[in-house]
Chain A
Amino acid sequence: MVERVDRREPIRSELDRSVIDRARRGDLDAFEEIVRVRMDTVYRLSFAILGDDAEARDAAQETFIAAWRQIRGVRDPERFDAWLQRVAVNAARMTHRAGRRRRVREIASSRIGGMPERAAASPAEVDSRTLDSAMRRLPVEQRSILVLHHLEGRTVAELAEILEIPIGTAKSRLHTARQALQAAIDAEAADR
Chain B
Amino acid sequence: MTTPDPWDDDRLAAAFTARNAGIELPPALVTETANAVRQRPTRRDAPWWRPLPIAAAAAVVVSVVGLSLAMSWRTGSSPAPTGPSASVPSAAPTDAETERVLGLPVIDVPAALAVRDAGEDDRELAVRGWYSPIFPIDTVCPAMYVRKDSPVQPDNCPIWWAVLMTEPVTEPESLSARRDAFGRPLVGDALEMDLDALDRSGLPVVRSAGPAEPTEIVVVGHFDDRRSRLCPPNVEQACRDRFVVDRIDQVAGEDQPLSQVVMHGGQATRSTLVDVEAAHALAAPDATILSVVTADNENIDAVEPTLVTDLSDLPDGSFYLPIRWVLYTLESGRPQTYTVTDGTNEVWRMDIDGNLFRVADPTVTPLPTEGPWPPEGTAFTVRITKDVDDRPPFEVAIVDRSDTLVGAREALEDDPVVAVPIDGTIAWVAAEPGDPRSIRLGWYGGNCDRHTIVTIDSLDSILVNPNVPSPCNVMGNDRSLILTYSEPVDAAAIDVSYSETRGESRVIDPPPTTAPALQDGALAVVGVDGGPGELFCNETFPVSGLTAPTGAEDRVGPEFDALRATLTDPGFADGAADIDALTWREAGRTDDIVVFLAEKPRNEDERYWLELSLRLEATGWQFIGGGDCQPRAVLPEGVGPATWILDPAYPEPTAQDATVHLLVTESACASGESAADRLAPAYVVASPYRIDITVGVHSRPGGGRCPSNPSVAVEIDLGTPIGGRPLIDPNAPPPDGTSG
Cβ proximity bits B396-415 to A, threshold 8 Å, 1 near / 0 not? 00000000000000000000
- Decide if B37 touches A180 in the complex (CB within 8 Å): no
How long is the Cα–Cα vector from A175 to B1 in the complex, in angstroms? 27
Write out the residue numbers on chain B whose beta carbons fall within 8 Å of the beta carbon of A141: 319, 471
The digit string for B301-333, where 1 denotes a CB below 8 A from any CB of A, is 000000000111111110100000000000000
- Taking CB atoms, residues of chain A closer than 8 Å to B14 are 4, 124, 127
Please classify how large the interface on chain A is, using the bins under 10, 10 to 19, 20 to 34, 35 or more: 35 or more
Contact B319 A127 (CB under 8 A): no
Q: Contacts of B25 on A, CB cut-off 8 Å?
A: 39-40, 43-44
Chain B residues near A163: list those with CB within 8 A.
314
* B26 at interface by CB-CB < 8 Å: yes
Interface string of B7-35 (1 = CB under 8 A from A): 10101111111111111111001101110
User: Residue A125 at the B interface, CB < 8 A?
Assistant: yes
Chain B positions within 8 Å of A, measured between CB atoms, are: 1-2, 4, 6-7, 9, 11-26, 29-30, 32-34, 36-38, 40-43, 266, 310-317, 319, 389, 422-424, 444, 470-471, 477, 592, 616-618
Chain A residues whose C-beta falls within 8 Å of the C-beta of B21 in the assembled complex: 2-5, 128
Residue on B nearest A160 in the bound complex, by CB: B316
* A43 and B6 form a contact (CB under 8 A): no
Distance of A64 Cα from B40 Cα, bound (Å): 11
Tell me the nearest residue of chain B to A121, going by C-beta.
B18
**Closest beta carbon of chain A to B405's beta carbon, Å:** 28
| Binary B-proximity of A152-185 (CB < 8 A = 1, otherwise 0) | 0000000000011110010010011001111111
Q: Which of A69, A70, A74, A99 has the most chain B CB within a 10 Å cutoff?
A: A69
- Cα-based distance from A130 to B471 in the complex (angstroms): 26
Interface contact B22-A115, CB-CB below 8 Å = yes
Tell whether, in the assembled complex, residue B617 and residue A61 are in contact, meaning their CB atoms are under 8 Å apart: no
Question: Which residues of chain B are within 8 angstroms of A111 by Cβ–Cβ distance?
Answer: 22-23
Q: Give A116-152 as 1s and 0s: 1 = Cβ < 8 Å from B's Cβ atoms.
A: 0000001011011011100000110100001100110
Interface centre among B2, B19, B30 (most CB of A within 10 A): B19
Instruction: Given contacts A60-B33, A61-B29, A164-B316, list 11 more A-B pairs with CB under 8 A.
Output: A35-B30, A35-B34, A43-B29, A57-B29, A64-B36, A65-B37, A97-B266, A114-B22, A128-B19, A146-B16, A179-B422
| Chain A residues whose C-beta falls within 8 Å of the C-beta of B13 in the assembled complex | 7, 150-151
For this complex, 8 residue pairs linking A to B, each with C-beta atoms less than 8 Å apart, are: A4-B21, A7-B13, A66-B311, A70-B311, A73-B313, A87-B311, A128-B16, A181-B7
| B4 and A132 contact, CB distance less than 8 A | no
A110 at the interface (CB under 8 A from B): yes
**Are A93 and B319 in contact, with the CB atoms below 8 A?**
yes
Smallest beta-carbon distance B34→chain A, Å: 5
Looking at B11, B12, B312, B470, the one whose CB has the most chain A CB atoms below 10 A away is B312
Which of B24, B316, B423 is within 8 Å of A179, CB to CB?
A: B423
Q: Which residues 4-62 of A have a CB within 8 angstroms of B?
A: 4-5, 7, 28, 31-32, 35-36, 39-40, 43-44, 47-48, 53, 57, 60-61
Which of B12, B17, B37, B43 touches A28 (beta carbons < 8 Å)?
B37
Across the interface, which residues of A come within 8 angstroms of B33, CB to CB? 35, 39, 60-61, 64-65
- Residues of B within 8 Å of A184, CB to CB, are 424
Give complex CA distance A151, B14 in Å.
Answer: 8
With the chains together, A141 CA to B13 CA distance in Å?
A: 18
Residue of B nearest to A177 (CB): B424
**In the complex, are the beta carbons of A69 and B18 less than 8 A apart?**
no
- The residue among B15, B37, B314, B317 with the most chain A CB atoms within 10 A of its own CB is B15
Q: Which of A87, A147, A166, A182 has the most CB of B within 10 A?
A: A182
A131 B16 Cβ-Cβ under 8 A = yes
Q: Are B6 and A131 in contact (CB under 8 A)?
A: no
CA distance A52 to B616 in the complex (A): 21
Among A61, A102, A127, the residue within 8 A (CB) of B36 is A61
Is B37 touching A2 in the complex (CB atoms < 8 A)? no
What is the CB-to-nearest-CB distance from A168 to chain B, in angstroms, rounded to a whole number?
9
Smallest CB separation, A79 vs chain B (Å): 10
Which chain B positions have C-beta within 8 A of A99? 618
Contact B423 A190 (CB under 8 A): no
Q: A114-B22, A172-B477 are in contact. Are A69 and B43 (CB under 8 A)?
A: yes
Q: How far is the CB of A123 from chain B (nearest CB, A)?
A: 8
Hey, which chain A residues are within 8 Å of B477, CB to CB? 169, 172
The residue that B313 contacts in the complex, of A115, A164, A186, with Cβ under 8 A, is: A164
Cross-interface CB contact of B444 among A66, A115, A176, A185, cutoff 8 Å: A176
Q: A102 and B618: CB pair below 8 A? A: yes
By the criterion CB–CB under 8 Å, are A147 and B16 in contact? yes
**Which of A57, A73, A131, A172 is close to B15, meaning CB atoms less than 8 Å apart?**
A131
**A101 touching B423 in the complex, CB below 8 Å, given contacts A5-B17, A86-B311:** no
Q: Write out the residue numbers on chain A whose beta carbons fall within 8 Å of the beta carbon of B317.
A: 165, 169
| Closest B residue, CB atoms, query A97 | B266
Using known A-B contacts A43-B29, A60-B33, A130-B15, determine if residue A110 contacts B312 with beta carbons closer than 8 Å. Answer: no
> Which residues of A sit under 8 angstroms from B19, Cβ to Cβ?
48, 128, 131-132
Q: Which of A5, A83, A128, A165 has the most CB of B within 10 A?
A: A128
List the B residue with the shortest CB-CB distance to A132. Answer: B19
User: In the complex, what distance in Å separates the CA atom of A111 from the CA atom of B25?
Assistant: 11
Q: In the bound complex, what is the Cα–Cα distance between A140 and B18 (angstroms)?
A: 20
Q: Are B312 and A83 in contact (CB under 8 A)?
A: yes
Contact A98 B618 (CB under 8 A): yes
Instruction: Indicate if the CB atoms of A4 and B18 lie closer than 8 Å.
Output: yes
Are B7 and A182 in contact (CB-based, < 8 A)? Answer: yes
Do B26 and A57 touch (CB < 8 A)? yes
- Interchain CB contact under 8 A, B312 and A74: yes
Residues on B with C-beta less than 8 A from A98 are: 266, 618
Asked whether B30 lies within 8 Å of A164 as measured between CB atoms, the reply is no
A36, A73, A150: the one contacting B12 at CB < 8 Å is A150
Closest to B267 in A: A97
Q: Provide the bound-state CA to CA distance between A72 and B348, in Å.
A: 26
Report yes or no: A35 in contact with B15, Cβ–Cβ below 8 A. no
Q: In whole angstroms, how far apart are the Cα atoms of A43 and B30 in the complex?
A: 10
B616: A residues at CB distance < 8 A: 101
Instruction: Give complex CA distance A182, B30 in Å.
Output: 36
Which of chain A's residues have a CB closer than 8 A to the CB of B444? 176
B-side contacts of A139, CB under 8 Å: 470-471
Contact A124 B18 (CB under 8 A): yes
Other-chain residue from A101, A132, A169, A175 in contact with B617 (beta carbon distance below 8 A): A101
Inter-subunit contact B18/A2 (CB<8 Å) = yes
Set of chain A residues within 8 Å of B266, measured between Cβ atoms: 97-98
Residues of chain B within 8 A (CB-CB) of A39 are 25, 29-30, 33
Q: For the complex, what is the distance from the CA of A2 to the CA of B18, rounded to whole Å?
A: 7
CA distance A17 to B312 in the complex (A): 19
Contact: A175 with B22, CB < 8 Å? no
- Partner of B4 from A35, A93, A189 at Cβ < 8 Å: A189
Cβ of B40 to closest chain A Cβ, rounded Å: 6
Within the assembled complex, what's the spacing in Å between the Cα atoms of A149 and B15?
A: 13
A2-B18, A101-B616, A132-B19 are contacts. A28–B38 as well, Cβ < 8 Å?
yes
- Given the known inter-chain contacts A43-B29, A131-B12, A147-B16, please indicate yes or no for A110 contacting B316, CB distance below 8 A: no
Closest 9 CB pairs of A and B: A180-B424, A128-B18, A127-B15, A128-B19, A2-B21, A151-B16, A179-B422, A189-B4, A131-B15
**Do residues B7 and A185 form an inter-chain contact, with CB atoms below 8 A?**
yes
B15 contacts across to A, CB distance below 8 A: 124, 127-128, 130-131
From the candidates A28, A61, A186, name the one contacting B32 in the complex (CB within 8 A).
A61
Which residue of A43, A83, A169, A179 is within 8 Å of B23 (Cβ)?
A: A43
Closest to A6 in B: B17
A121: min CB distance to chain B, Å: 10
Docked-complex contact A4 and B30, CB < 8 angstroms: no
Q: Which of A43, A86, A114 contacts B312 (CB 8 A)?
A: A86
Least CB distance from A160 to B in Å reads: 10
A106 to chain B, nearest CB (A): 12
Which residue of B is nearest A73, CB measured?
B310
- Min CB gap B472→A, angstroms: 13
How long is the Cα–Cα vector from A60 to B29 in the complex, in angstroms? Answer: 9
